[in-house]
Structure 1
Amino acid sequence: MTDLYFVLTPNFMLLDLAGPAEAFQIAANHGAPYRLHHVAPVRELTCSIGLKQHQLALLPTPIPHGATIVLIGTQNSKVNLLLPEAQQVVAWLREHFDATQHQLACVCSGTMLAAYAGLLDHRECTTHHEILERLRIAAPLAKVLDDRIFVQDGNIATSAGICSGIDLALQLIEQDAGPLIAQAVAREMVVWLRRSGQDPQLSPWLAHRNHLHPMVHKAQDLISRAPRERWTLDRVAAQVHTSGRNLARLFQQHCGVSLHQYHLAIRIATAKQLLNHPQLSIEHIAEQAGFASARDFRRVWQKETGLLPSASRQ
């Protein structure tokens, strides 16, 4: 079980908290191993839109091993992050956060708290575009990146603000609980999986999901859940109760790729995960990922990566 501690300071941005927290809670409802906590230096705080948050738990000391700390941004951060309560959070991070034992996720100006605590030194990071220069001053040893939705450097992740906190949450959910749960969360929240052009390419599990067409989502779900199956266009079309011709049109229109291309990308992603297990043979990986043979797998993998599977594993 992973403990998620959402750390609040005076006038915290409600959407900075609610967006990621809802994503993690929905993931927990789908079986992800999350337990949510809302903590602060004091028992009661008021958020950016005037709602009071009562009966907050106090900052945990020590922070449990394996916990994820989520630093929530605040309204008018230039002023509010210098308040005594916010500075208590900075002191707490300095004393208790251990980068070898804990994970850190920063939403919007929450990144500034990490900067003040010295946690971003020699790491790539980002924050809301209006405070990027302040972040550079607060963390002169950090590599601050512009025009990024979120940045992940090891076990420390930072995001640009407000809605991008949901993007960051989905990224962490995929890493912790797998792509199928991340897909389910995104669909339930009816959110697009947004990334800027400079971010690493979306994993095939989450790519091509920036649409709301239920039939196409259902087809993608079928393929994602059983990539080793022989999913012909007509077979998938029968499962989603339409014709192959109509499904091909809809898939290209809403995903920008053919169903065959999507299936191949999911098979490659499956094989990539399996290659992380050195005890598995190339033949077994090819079978589990749905390739016709180890030879077929090697051919496709080399075409996609320029390397043989054995070299990629090394």
Structure 2
Amino acid sequence: MIDVLIVVPPRSLLLDVAGPAEAFRLANQQLERQGEAARFRLRFAGPRAEATTSVGLPLAQLEPLPKTLPRPTWLLLVGQSSDTLRTPDAASRATIDWLQRDMRPLLAQRDTPHRLLTVCAGTLMAARAGLLDGRRCTTHHDYLAMLRTLAPAAEVVDNRVFVVDGTVASSAGVTAGIDLALHLIADACGDAVAAAVAKTMVVYLRRTPQDPELSPLLAHRHHLHPALHRAQDAVCERPEAEWTLESLADAAHVTSRHLLRLFAEHATVSPMVYVEKIRLERARQALQRGASVTRAAEAAGFTSDLQLRRAWGRHFSGTPRAARLSS
């Protein structure tokens, strides 16, 4: 179980709070439907027990800011209204002091089980607390210059939906917090769960090609077609199955001819190329965990090492063996 501790100082942007929180809640719901345990425990804390958000809606019964983190925790900092960002009020300054005094040592520990997440201008609060030194990070485009001033020892990245650097993950404007949450859900719970959450929230799965940590299993899913999602979910859940056009069509509850049209129109890739890409990602993950090339090929649904190597050459540089040695 991962504690998601969302810090809510006064005048926080409501969507920064609710968007990621809802994504994590839906991930738990999806896991429980699959007979698995929930992974995320949502907590909301602040310098005061009540905080009025940017739209005037008050949030009450917030936890006090904790002195320590007894369980693995994702500490999530959200943005605030623009005037508060430029001149932090007393409650915001108290939050920054708490981050620097109590959270910075925990986040800086070697092999820490905790992560720092920031949504929108929440990155500025992290910068004021000195949590971004030596890290790559981003924020809303309006505040990139301010972030560079507040965190001169950080590498500020422009024009990115989100940036992941080790245990620190930062995102741009408000809805990017949902994109970041989907990425983290995929990492912790699997890509099929993240895809199900995105479909439930009726949002596109955002991708940043520059980010090598973003799983290819989320590619080709920038659509809302339920039949195509059914086929893609089936492949993600069982890439090792003997997929054919006909069995994919059965999973989607459409004809084979219609499925071909759906893949061409909405996924811009053929069904069997999609299957191959999913299998390659599964093989890559197995190699990173130390599996031999033979075991990785079997786990991903390839019939032999040779079939894996040929597919690898069509999509990646290098070889599966080289990828295993570099992991």
Question: Could you tell me how far 1:307 is from its partner in structure 2?
Answer: 2.3
Q: Which of 296, 303, 310 is the matching residue for 1:292?
A: 303
Q: Which of 222, 227, 236 is the matching residue for 1:215?
A: 227
Q: Which of 285, 291, 308 is the matching residue for 2:319?
A: 308
1:230 maps to 242
**Structure 1's 131 and 285: CA in aligned 2 closer, same or farther, altered over 3 A?**
same
* Root mean square deviation, CA, Å: 1.6
Structure 2 gap ranges (5+): 32-37
CA distance in 1 between counterparts of 2:186 and 2:204 reads 15
How high is the TM-score relative to the length of structure 1? 0.95
2:34 maps to none
Q: 1:60-99 alignment to 2 at 5 Å?
A: 60-79=66-85, 82-97=88-103, 98-99=106-107
Aligned sequence identity (%): 44
Paired letter, 2:18: A
**Structure 1's 196 and 239: CA in aligned 2 closer, same or farther, altered over 3 A?**
closer
Does the alignment pair 1:58 with 2:64?
yes
Question: Could you tell me how far 1:145 is from its partner in structure 2?
Answer: 1.1
CA distance in 2 between counterparts of 1:93 and 1:74 reads 16
**Structure 1's 45 and 84: CA in aligned 2 closer, same or farther, altered over 3 A?**
same
1:111 maps to 123
Question: Could you tell me how far 1:203 is from its partner in structure 2?
Answer: 2.1
Q: Secondary structure at the match of 1:135?
A: helix
CA distance in 2 between counterparts of 1:168 and 1:145 reads 15
1:134 maps to 146
Aligned partners of 1:77 and 1:109 also within 8 Å = no
Q: 1:1-314 alignment to 2 at 5 Å?
A: 1-31=1-31, 32-79=38-85, 82-97=88-103, 98-99=106-107, 100=109, 101=112, 102-196=114-208, 198-200=210-212, 202-278=214-290, 280-314=291-325
CA distance in 1 between counterparts of 2:279 and 2:46 reads 44
Aligned length: 313
Aligned partners of 1:74 and 1:81 also within 8 Å = no
Aligned partners of 1:237 and 1:243 also within 8 Å = yes
CA distance in 1 between counterparts of 2:276 and 2:164 reads 27
Aligned partners of 2:16 and 2:119 also within 8 Å = yes
CA distance in 1 between counterparts of 2:155 and 2:71 reads 27
CA distance in 2 between counterparts of 1:285 and 1:147 reads 36
Structure 1 gap ranges (5+): none
Aligned partners of 2:164 and 2:211 also within 8 Å = no
**Structure 1's 77 and 160: CA in aligned 2 closer, same or farther, altered over 3 A?**
farther
CA offset digits 1:94-126 (Å, max 9, x no partner): 122222322000011110110001111111111
How high is the TM-score relative to the length of structure 2? 0.91
Question: Could you tell me how far 1:197 is from its partner in structure 2?
Answer: 5.7
Question: Could you tell me how far 1:66 is from its partner in structure 2?
Answer: 2.0
CA distance in 2 between counterparts of 1:235 and 1:116 reads 54
Paired letter, 1:158: S
CA distance in 2 between counterparts of 1:242 and 1:185 reads 23
CA distance in 2 between counterparts of 1:126 and 1:219 reads 35
CA distance in 2 between counterparts of 1:205 and 1:185 reads 14
Paired letter, 2:94: Q
CA offset digits 1:184-210 (Å, max 9, x no partner): 111111110123565448522111111
Q: Secondary structure at the match of 2:310?
A: helix
Q: Secondary structure at the match of 1:262?
A: helix
CA distance in 1 between counterparts of 2:153 and 2:209 reads 25
Q: Secondary structure at the match of 1:30?
A: helix
CA offset digits 1:28-82 (Å, max 9, x no partner): 2223411010000110110011111111101111123421100011112555761
CA distance in 2 between counterparts of 1:196 and 1:303 reads 22
CA distance in 1 between counterparts of 2:251 and 2:262 reads 15
Paired letter, 1:115: A
**Structure 1's 224 and 197: CA in aligned 2 closer, same or farther, altered over 3 A?**
closer
Q: Secondary structure at the match of 1:42?
A: coil
